[in-house]
Amino acid sequence: MINITKTCLSDSVNSDKHEVINVTKTYLPDRTKLDKYIDKIYSTAWVTNNGQLLKELTARLEEYLGVQNLLLVANGTLALQIAYKALGVNGQAITTPFSFVATTSSLVWEGIEPIFVDIDPETFCIDPSKIEEAITPETTAIVPVHVFGNACEVEKIENIAQKYGLKTIYDGAHAFGVQYNGESLLSYGDATILSFHATKLFHTIEGGAIIFKNKEDYERAKLMINFGIDGPDSVIELGINAKMNEFQAAMGLCVLDEIDTILEQRAEIWSHYENALKDIVQLQKRNFQCTNNYSYFPVLFENEERLIEVKNTMNSAGINPRRYFYPSLDTLEYLHPQVSQTESRNIASRIMCLPLYPELRTEDADLIVMILKNDSK
Ligand SMILES: *Cc1c(COP(=O)(O)O)cnc(C)c1O
């Protein structure tokens, strides 16, 4: 570490010029616009249960994303759980150990045993060449993740699923708006889920969606998210409550109006980082067949020690990058047996996501780059 840099940074913190810079900052839309939607909700007092704004958001998202059978739900984790239920997933499901904990915990919560298949250490997505050897008579599904919006090798995965009669449910929580070979990446698999949590690229405060390949699965899931209720006096399916409400939909409609600007601003910072850092730290190898939605900027260090050094320097300058994803999910205490996933543990120990959001100022990005350059020497 170079001390003079650290001293300068603490000085700038002390001078109160900096607000804390977190890995992300929730995008809040124009208040006047949001108020107009809230007025609409007040005028009808229809606050949830398939309301007008929810219908409007559904239609606009289907158009924007270029998908069909999109079902809005209360959050991304419920989206996963509903997708498994609607598609009849049970027994074992093959998944990746390198993801946010919800990918695995949602399986365990539904009584499905997660079977990990290690990742490709360059793309950070599940390694398709290792999937077949993990399939057993109990396997009913594959649950891959488009990590940091980078497309999985969908063709290879689909071929395996077809060969063994497995369902595929993609965790596309990071893949909002990503195109693959000119069409939506989100239309792959029997289902793809999205998270609209406040920290995500597009958000509804809390929220999520499931995009189904088949209309029948969509219809079943639609019943499931509302207790299986079919009409005033009719319950025809086992269900739960996973509905999105009108206030969430109002937020979504406002953010969606701004999405192109959000993407442009993210792209600018993303490229700024890439240009400055590509020769200094290892970056994610992107699938060349998919577009970038600039949702994360992960950097990979030589080792964990280096990562911790850089993180500490940043923290003392009021900058809070996050160790995404850490720890590797094959180390979760509630999983038995834990089968060690070498690549995932290795990557998880030395990866960190840099702050990236529309309002991040260039000088702050430069400061982050400077710390990385000094500390990586
Ligand atoms: C955010 C996230 C989820 C969970 O979504 P919530 O809306 O927070 O429930 C699931 N998987 C991944 C990869 C995520 O990043």
pLDDT tens string 73-131: 999 999 999 999 999 999 999 999 999 999 999 999 999 999 999 999 999 999 999 99
Which residue of 195, 210, 248 sits with most ligand 1 atoms within 8 Å of its CB, as the best mutation to test the pocket?
195
Residue 53 CA to ligand 1 center (angstroms) comes to 23
- Using pLDDT thresholds of 50, 70 and 90, give the confidence band for residue 4: very low
- What pLDDT is attached to residue 2? 44
Residue 258 CA to ligand 1 center (angstroms) comes to 22
What percent of the chain is predicted at pLDDT more than 70?
94
- Residue 15, pLDDT > 60, answer no
- Name residues contacting ligand 1 (CB within 6 A): 75-77, 99-100, 102-103, 145, 171, 173-174, 195, 197, 208
- What pLDDT is attached to residue 337? 81
- Residue 13, pLDDT > 70, answer no
Amino acid making up residue 31: R
As given in the structure block, the two tokens for residue 298 are 């992960």
- Pick the closest to residue 73 from 85, 63, 64 (CA basis): 85
Torsion angle (degrees, nearest 10) of CA 73, 74, 77, 82: -40
Ligand 1 atom at shortest distance from the alpha carbon of 77 = 9
Q: What is the pLDDT of residues 162-180, one digit of tens each?
A: 999 999 999 999 999 999 9
- What pLDDT is attached to residue 374? 84
- What pLDDT is attached to residue 207? 98
- 191-195 and 229-231: which strand pairing? unpaired
Contact status, residue 350 vs residue 306, Cβ threshold 8 Å: yes
Neighbour-count burial of 314, counting CB atoms closer than 10 A to its CB (0-12 exposed, 13-18 middle, 19+ buried): buried
Size of the chain in residues: 377
Q: What is the pLDDT of residues 300-359, one digit of tens each?
A: 999 999 999 999 999 999 999 999 999 999 999 999 888 999 999 999 999 999 999 999
Q: What angle do CA 101, 104, 105 make, to 5 degrees?
A: 75
Which residue of 24, 73, 75, 77 sits with most ligand 1 atoms within 8 Å of its CB, as the best mutation to test the pocket?
77
Ligand 1 atom at shortest distance from the alpha carbon of 106 = 10
- What pLDDT is attached to residue 11? 40
Q: What angle do CA 360, 363, 369 make, to 5 degrees?
A: 90
Cα–Cα distance for residue pair 341/109, rounded to 1 Å: 22
Which residue of 171, 194, 248, 324 sits with most ligand 1 atoms within 8 Å of its CB, as the best mutation to test the pocket?
171
Under 8 Å CB-to-CB from 46, ≥6 apart: which residues?
A: 52, 246
Calculate the alpha carbon distances from 93 to 99, 124, 223, 239, 376 in Å.
Answer: 15, 19, 24, 22, 39
Q: How much is the average pLDDT of 224-242?
A: 96
Amino acid making up residue 218: Y
Cα–Cα distance for residue pair 226/212, rounded to 1 Å: 17
Cα 319 to its chain centre, rounded Å, is 22
Angle between helix 3-14 and 362-375 (nearest 10): 150
Residue 24 CA to ligand 1 center (angstroms) comes to 15
- What pLDDT is attached to residue 25? 92
Ligand 1 atom at shortest distance from the alpha carbon of 207 = 7
Bridge partners of 231? 234
Bridge partners of 73? 208
Cα–Cα distance for residue pair 311/268, rounded to 1 Å: 23
